[in-house]
């Protein structure tokens, strides 16, 4: 089953065309990696999947993006869409409040009020993000006191707390040290059993370590999309080969 | 090794002298007030009812607090509301935004006596509120509005966009994002504006003489006249009979203003502390 089907997607920021005729799909319970040099449109594509691009003035989209067969630029309420498609950003961005309130913010947004249900959601999400043991004694303390890696796992927990179907990650480890990066990669491999994951990464080793499918982007175009193994061992396109072998980018 | 030219030494001396003079002027004023005022701070100054024998400042002190609370309760919701519109809802560079900013800046530049005259004509005469706490606090509310708007807007704009993105990405709407995430994060900045506003209220005389009047009493209700500490000082020194008590009042006013600053800094530190601890 595909969670996302993208057909003839074009995107403009004002007059600049950032994405050109993208056609791809992402399968359920897999990790799909989007790679490519800076400015190739991979983050832009990620942001069209939960319509975060709506916030950018002058952004225009044509074509269709379907989430489980439903066009997300059609009648779907954008807040419902973002509940179903969670997102984790490049820089950890916990809210300036306690660990507990950070995680509870999402469920509260979607109407969960009972103390018991909130406690449970907080504990389950923190456990799922493999950070429960580190923060269980400091749930009431500010989330900004955590280390960068912990903050990023907290943000993953926060995204999981609204029970999304898909998790979008925009270079989630680029601001972290190798040990924190390792922990997050391990976590993602565990999470893919329950969630479909789409990750933008700058780091090709990361893509080979964790992803099942890889799409290579260049200058707003999708050059090649195949299983990660194929992309890195026998790419069909010369440009993909040049990039994955480190000849540019 | 390094040759310092005479002109450089001269300039350094000038800037040093300027700094010294600035600090000196402030210290001189504070010292002078303390020297003249402290000996006359007596228990009778804090008698609950003012008469020309005890020259009590307590009614003025209570009136000052009431005036500040009332003015802020009118101005704060308006100022923050407008700031939220400008910072979160209005599109940058929109014509209405420029108009509102221009209006706020103009309001900020008007001398306080003009506010006083406007307050008298509008609240006191036209609305028939007479010289009253209500007329005075409404006048002051208009006066501090630009200040609250400006500091509120700046506080909101300094909240990182990553908070907004994080909230939107969880499916929170605009309203929830603004009031649950952005506004709480902006509170220290808002409080800084409130402190400045309270300072202006405590220091204002011209706008109050013609709107709140000068009756030295603890106002029984908002339609009664009241004099704040500054107006009280003005009255005492104008009459010339109780100059020493005037200085004593100045000491109390100084302490009140410093006290408010310390409390606000504490509150801002407590709330802001949660943000800055990284």
Residue A14: inside a domain: yes
**Interchain CB distance below 8 Å, B180 and A80:** no
Please enumerate residues of A whose Cβ is less than 8 A from a Cβ of B: 50, 52, 55, 57, 79-83, 86-87, 89, 91, 93-97, 105-106, 109-110, 142, 144-145, 155, 158-159, 162
Residue A158: closest C-alpha in chain B: B170
Answer yes or no: are the C-beta atoms of A85 and A164 closer than 8 Å. yes
Residue A249: inside a domain: no
Cα A89 off chain centre by: 7
**Interchain CB distance below 8 Å, B278 and A145:** yes
B/e letters for A118-142, b = 16+ CB within 10 Å, e = fewer, are beebbbbbbebbbbbebbeeebeeb
Best of A59, A92, A93 to substitute, by most chain B Cβ atoms within 10 angstroms, is A93
CATH code of residue A82? 3.40.50.300
Report chain B residues whose CB lies below 8 A from the CB of A144. 274-278
Instruction: Express the helix, strand and coil content of chain A in percent, nearest 5 each.
Output: 40, 30, 30
The first and second tokens of residue A49, run together, are 């999947």
Q: Quickly count: other Cβ atoms within 10 Å of residue B177's Cβ.
A: 20
d(CA A207, CA A215): 10
d(CA A208, CA A203): 9
- Tell me, what DSSP letter sits at residue B88? I
The structural domains of chain B, with segments of one domain joined by +, span 40-276
Q: How many CB pairs under 8 A join A and B?
A: 74
pLDDT in tens, chain B (278 residues): 567 788 889 999 999 999 999 999 999 999 999 999 888 888 888 888 888 788 888 888 999 999 999 999 999 999 999 999 999 888 777 888 888 888 888 888 899 999 999 999 999 999 989 899 999 999 999 999 999 999 999 999 999 999 999 999 999 999 999 999 999 999 888 988 888 898 889 888 899 999 988 888 888 888 888 889 999 889 888 888 888 888 999 999 989 888 887 887 787 676 655 444 33
Residue A148: closest C-alpha in chain B: B278
Residue B178: CB partners within 8 Å, gap ≥ 6?
B84, B88
**Interchain CB distance below 8 Å, A144 and B277:** yes
Please choose, from the candidates A119, A106, A235, A208, the residue with its C-alpha nearest in 3D space to the C-alpha of residue A167: A106
Burial of B153 per CB tally in 10 Å (0-12, 13-18, 19+): buried
Dump pLDDT digits (tens) for A119-158: 999 999 999 888 999 999 999 999 999 999 999 999 999 9
**Whether B185 contacts chain A with CB within 8 A:** yes
CATH for the stretch B40-276: 1.10.3720.10
**Whether B174 contacts chain A with CB within 8 A:** no
Please give the full DSSP string across A195-224, using - where no structure is assigned: SEEEEE-S-HHHHHHH-SEEEEEETTEEEE
Burial of A38 per CB tally in 10 Å (0-12, 13-18, 19+): exposed
Write down the mean pLDDT value for chain A: 91
Answer yes or no: are the C-beta atoms of A220 and A34 closer than 8 Å. no
**Interchain CB distance below 8 Å, A89 and B180:** no
Residue B1: CB partners within 8 Å, gap ≥ 6?
none
Answer yes or no: are the C-beta atoms of B40 and B247 closer than 8 Å. yes
**Interchain CB distance below 8 Å, A55 and B165:** yes
The pLDDT assigned to B263 comes to 81
User: Which residues on adjacent β-strands are paired with residue A166?
Assistant: A85, A196
Report chain B residues whose CB lies below 8 A from the CB of A151. none
What is the interface pTM, i.e. ipTM, of the complex?
A: 0.91
The first and second tokens of residue A112, run together, are 């969960």
Residue A109, domain extent:
2-244
Tally helices (H) and strands (E) across chain A.
Answer: 10, 10
Query: DSSP strand E in A77-220: where?
Result: 85-88, 166-170, 196-200, 213-218
CA angle B245, B248, B253 (to 5 degrees): 125
d(CA A41, CA B172): 26
**Interchain CB distance below 8 Å, A52 and B276:** no
Residue A28: CB partners within 8 Å, gap ≥ 6?
A1, A2, A3, A196
The first and second tokens of residue B221, run together, are 């209700």
The first and second tokens of residue B185, run together, are 């994060």
Smallest Cβ distance to B169: which of A52, A97, A142? A52
d(CA B216, CA B56): 9
Count structural domains, chain A.
Answer: 1
Smallest Cβ distance to A93: which of B165, B172, B278? B165
The pLDDT assigned to B72 comes to 94
- The whole model's pTM is what? 0.83
Shortest CA gap A117–chain B (Å): 18
Smallest Cβ distance to B170: which of A57, A82, A144? A82
The pLDDT assigned to B192 comes to 85
- Rounded to an integer, the average pLDDT of A174-185 is 89
Please choose, from the candidates B179, B175, B140, the residue with its C-alpha nearest in 3D space to the C-alpha of residue B156: B179
The pLDDT assigned to B272 comes to 56
Residue B88: closest C-alpha in chain A: A55
d(CA A209, CA A70): 31
The pLDDT assigned to B270 comes to 67
Task: Using the predicted structure, report yes or no on whether residue A236 has a pLDDT greater than 50.
Answer: yes
Dump pLDDT digits (tens) for A62-110: 999 999 888 898 878 999 999 999 999 999 999 999 999 999 999 999 9
**Whether B53 contacts chain A with CB within 8 A:** no
Query: What φ, ψ does residue B162 adopt, rounded to 5°?
Result: -65, -30
**Interchain CB distance below 8 Å, B170 and A55:** no
d(CA B83, CA A22): 41
Instruction: Express the helix, strand and coil content of chain B in percent, nearest 5 each.
Output: 75, 0, 25
Half-sphere exposure at residue A148, Cβ-oriented, CA atoms within 13 angstroms: 13
């Amino acid at each position: 089953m595909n969670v996302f089907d993208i057909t003839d997607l074009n995107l403009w920021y004002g007059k600049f065309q950032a994405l050109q005729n993208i056609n791809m799909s992402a399968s359920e319970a897999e990790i799909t990696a989007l790679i490519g040099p800076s400015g190739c449109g991979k983050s832009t594509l990620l942001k069209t999947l939960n319509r975060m691009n709506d916030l950018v003035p002058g952004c225009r989209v044509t074509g269709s993006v379907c989430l489980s067969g439903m066009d997300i630029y059609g009648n779907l309420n954008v807040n419902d869409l973002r509940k179903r498609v969670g997102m984790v950003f490049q820089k950890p961005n916990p809210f300036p409040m306690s660990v507990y309130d950070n995680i509870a913010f999402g469920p509260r947004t979607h109407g969960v009020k009972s103390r018991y249900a909130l406690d449970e959601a907080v504990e389950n999400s923190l456990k799922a993000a493999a950070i429960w043991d580190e923060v269980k004694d400091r749930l009431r303390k500010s989330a900004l006191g955590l280390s960068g890696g912990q903050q990023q796992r907290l943000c993953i927990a926060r995204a999981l707390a609204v029970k999304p179907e898909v998790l979008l990650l925009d270079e989630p480890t680029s601001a972290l040290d190798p040990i924190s990066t390792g922990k997050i990669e391990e976590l993602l491999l565990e999470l893919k059993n329950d969630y479909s994951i789409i990750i933008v990464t700058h780091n090709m080793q990361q893509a080979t370590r964790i992803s099942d499918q890889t799409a290579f982007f260049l200058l707003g175009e999708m050059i090649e999309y195949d299983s990660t193994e194929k992309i890195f061992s026998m790419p069909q396109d010369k440009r993909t080969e040049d990039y994955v072998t480190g000849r540019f980018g | 090794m390094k040759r310092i030219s005479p002109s450089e030494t001269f300039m350094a001396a000038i800037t040093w002298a300027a700094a010294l003079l600035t600090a000196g002027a402030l210290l001189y004023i504070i010292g002078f007030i303390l020297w003249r005022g402290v000996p006359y701070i007596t228990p009778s100054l804090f008698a609950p009812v003012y008469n020309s024998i005890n020259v009590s400042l307590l009614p003025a002190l209570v009136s000052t607090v009431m005036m500040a609370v009332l003015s802020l309760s009118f101005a704060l919701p308006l100022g923050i509301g407008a700031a939220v519109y400008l910072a979160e809802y209005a599109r940058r560079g929109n014509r209405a935004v420029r108009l509102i900013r221009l209006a706020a800046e103009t309001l900020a530049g008007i001398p306080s006596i003009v506010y006083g005259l406007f307050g008298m004509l509008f609240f006191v005469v036209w609305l028939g509120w007479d010289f009253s706490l209500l007329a005075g606090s409404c006048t002051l509310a208009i006066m501090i509005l630009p200040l609250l708007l400006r500091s509120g807007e700046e506080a909101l704009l300094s909240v990182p966009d990553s908070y907004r993105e994080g909230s939107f990405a969880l499916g929170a709407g605009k309203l929830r994002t603004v009031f649950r995430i952005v506004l709480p994060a902006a509170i220290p900045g808002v409080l800084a504006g409130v402190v400045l506003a309270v300072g202006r209220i405590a220091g204002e005389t011209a706008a109050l003489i013609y709107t709140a009047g000068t009756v030295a009493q603890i106002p029984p209700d908002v339609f009664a006249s009241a004099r704040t500490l500054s107006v009280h000082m003005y009255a005492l020194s104008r009459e010339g009979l109780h100059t020493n008590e005037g200085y004593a009042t100045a000491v109390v006013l100084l302490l009140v203003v410093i006290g408010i600053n310390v409390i606000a800094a504490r509150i801002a530190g407590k709330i802001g502390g949660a943000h800055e601890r990284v």
